[in-house]
Structure 1
Amino acid sequence: MDGDGDRAVLERYLAASDAVAALSLESFGDTELLGALGELEVADRRRAALIHQILARLSREANPVALGGTSWKALLADRLKITAVDAQRRLDHARDLGPRVSLIGESQEPVLPLVAALVAQGAIGADHVVRIREFFAKVPSWVSVADREGCEASLALQAPGLTPEELKKVADKLLTYLDQDGPEPDDTDPAPPSGSLALGPQRADGMSVLSGELDPEARAVWEAIYAKLAAPGMCNRDDPHPCVSGTPTREQIEGDHRSLGRRQLDAMVAVGRMVLQSGTLGQHNGLPVTVIISTTLQDLQAAAGLPPTPPPPATLFDEEVGRACRPARAGR
Structure 2
Amino acid sequence: MGSRGVVDRQTVTAIFDALDAAADRLVGLDFDALTTPEWLVLLGRCEKVRRRLPVAEHQLINNLARQASAEELGGKLSHAIADWALTSRTEASRRSNAAADLGPRRALTGEPIAPVLAGAAAAQCDGTIGAEHIAVIRRFCRQLPGWVDQATRERAEAQLARQGGQVRPEQLSGLAATIADRLNPDGTYRDEDRARRRALMLGSQQADGMSELRARITPSCAPPWKPCWPSWPPRACATPNPKPPVWTAVPVRPPSTPTPAQRPNALMTGCWPGCAPCWRPESWVSTTAYPRRSSCRPRWPNWKPLPDRDSPAAAPCCR
Task: Verify: 1:56 aligned to 2:56, yes or no.
Answer: no
| Residue 183 (structure 1) aligns with | 188
Q: C-alpha root-mean-square deviation of aligned residues, in Å? A: 2.0
Distance 1:122 1:186, change over 3 A: closer
Q: Deviations over 1:41-90 (max 9, x none)?
A: 1011111111111111111111244133x211112222222222211111
| Residue 104 (structure 2) aligns with | 99
1:77, 1:83 within 8 Å by CA — same for their partners in 2? yes
| Residue 124 (structure 1) aligns with | 129
2:175 is aligned, of 170, 180, 183, to 170
2:124, 2:130 within 8 Å by CA — same for their partners in 1? yes
Amino acid at match of 2:136: R
Query: How big is the shift at 1:169?
Result: 1.1
Instruction: Give me the whole-angstrom Cα distance separating, in 2, the residues matched to 1:172 and 1:138.
Output: 10
Describe the SS at the equivalent of 2:122.
Answer: helix
User: Percentage identity across aligned positions?
Assistant: 34
Scaled by the length of structure 2, the TM-score of the pair is 0.56
| Residue 24 (structure 2) aligns with | 18
Amino acid at match of 1:23: L
Show structure 2 runs of 5+ residues with no match: 1-5, 197-319
Structural mapping, 1:177-326, within 5 Å: 177-186=182-191
Task: Verify: 1:108 aligned to 2:100, yes or no.
Answer: no
Number of corresponding residues: 189
Query: How big is the shift at 1:176?
Result: 1.1
Q: Deviations over 1:242-300 (max 9, x none)?
A: xxxxxxxxxxxxxxxxxxxxxxxxxxxxxxxxxxxxxxxxxxxxxxxxxxxxxxxxxxx
2:51, 2:130 within 8 Å by CA — same for their partners in 1? yes
Task: Verify: 1:147 aligned to 2:152, yes or no.
Answer: yes
1:5 is aligned, of 2, 7, 11, to 11
2:129, 2:161 within 8 Å by CA — same for their partners in 1? no
Show structure 1 runs of 5+ residues with no match: 192-332
Distance 1:26 1:185, change over 3 A: closer
2:136, 2:169 within 8 Å by CA — same for their partners in 1? yes
Instruction: Give me the whole-angstrom Cα distance separating, in 2, the residues matched to 1:49 and 1:13.
Output: 15
Instruction: Give me the whole-angstrom Cα distance separating, in 1, the residues matched to 2:136 and 2:152.
Output: 18
Task: Verify: 1:75 aligned to 2:80, yes or no.
Answer: yes
Task: Verify: 1:32 aligned to 2:38, yes or no.
Answer: yes
Query: How big is the shift at 1:6?
Result: 2.7
Q: Deviations over 1:296-324 (max 9, x none)?
A: xxxxxxxxxxxxxxxxxxxxxxxxxxxxx
2:118, 2:158 within 8 Å by CA — same for their partners in 1? no
1:52, 1:93 within 8 Å by CA — same for their partners in 2? yes
Instruction: Give me the whole-angstrom Cα distance separating, in 1, the residues matched to 2:32 and 2:55.
Output: 31
Query: How big is the shift at 1:184?
Result: 4.1
Distance 1:128 1:64, change over 3 A: farther
Scaled by the length of structure 1, the TM-score of the pair is 0.54
Instruction: Give me the whole-angstrom Cα distance separating, in 2, the residues matched to 1:61 and 1:153.
Output: 30
Amino acid at match of 1:14: D
Q: Which runs of 4+ in 1 moved over 4 A?
A: none
Instruction: Give me the whole-angstrom Cα distance separating, in 1, the residues matched to 2:88 and 2:112.
Output: 31
Bigger fraction of residues in helix: 1
| Residue 42 (structure 1) aligns with | 48
